Structure 1
């Protein structure tokens, strides 16, 4: 199997792990892909992984904070505002739980 296919398979396994409630396993695969992978998830794909973790019963706070650190949360909100896709209310709630300064920076960027 080529490296690309192996990493794409890892990406799909991350989705499955998050949906099954195994956040640590899903996060490990996701962070590997972000750091070393040929297959590097973009903002929407990371959001979809986070969404899988919500469907798995517990939204991954670590994945949300990773998206925040990478500056992807404003991008996700902009795309949702433009109607490209819908975000879960849990995502908006996660933004609401951020400290006020961070909330301001995120919303200003949207």
Structure 2
């Protein structure tokens, strides 16, 4: 099996784990992809993994904070604004719950 196919399989496993409510397992697969992957997940893919965790019953705080730490929230919001894809209200609420300085930094980046 090629490295790309293995990574794609890991990406699918992460989605499945998050949808099943197994956030620790999904996060483990996501971290593996970020640390070892030739193809690293982009902002939208990480958002979609977080979205899967919401569908699994509880949005992964760790994954949201990872997206925040990687500085990808502005990219997600820009893509959503342009109509590339829709974001969940839970994501907007989560961004809204951040401290004022963090929200200001996100707004400046947009």
Q: Aligned residue for 1:70?
A: 70
Q: Take 2:6 and 2:36, find their aligned partners in 1: how far apart are those partners?
A: 13
Q: Take 1:67 and 1:104, find their aligned partners in 2: how far apart are those partners?
A: 16
SS of aligned partner of 1:21: coil
SS of aligned partner of 2:84: coil
Q: Take 2:50 and 2:107, find their aligned partners in 1: how far apart are those partners?
A: 20
The runs of at least 4 consecutive aligned structure 1 residues that moved more than 4 Å come to none
Deviation at 1:39, TM superposition (A): 2.6
Q: Deviations over 1:50-106 (max 9, x none)?
A: 000000000011101101111110000011111111110000011011111001101
Q: Take 1:69 and 1:46, find their aligned partners in 2: how far apart are those partners?
A: 12
TM-score norm. by structure 1 comes to 0.96
Q: Which runs of 5+ in 2 are unaligned?
A: none
Deviation at 1:7, TM superposition (A): 1.3
TM-score norm. by structure 2 comes to 0.96
Q: Aligned residue for 1:18?
A: 18
Q: Aligned residue for 2:33?
A: 33
Q: Take 1:8 and 1:103, find their aligned partners in 2: how far apart are those partners?
A: 33
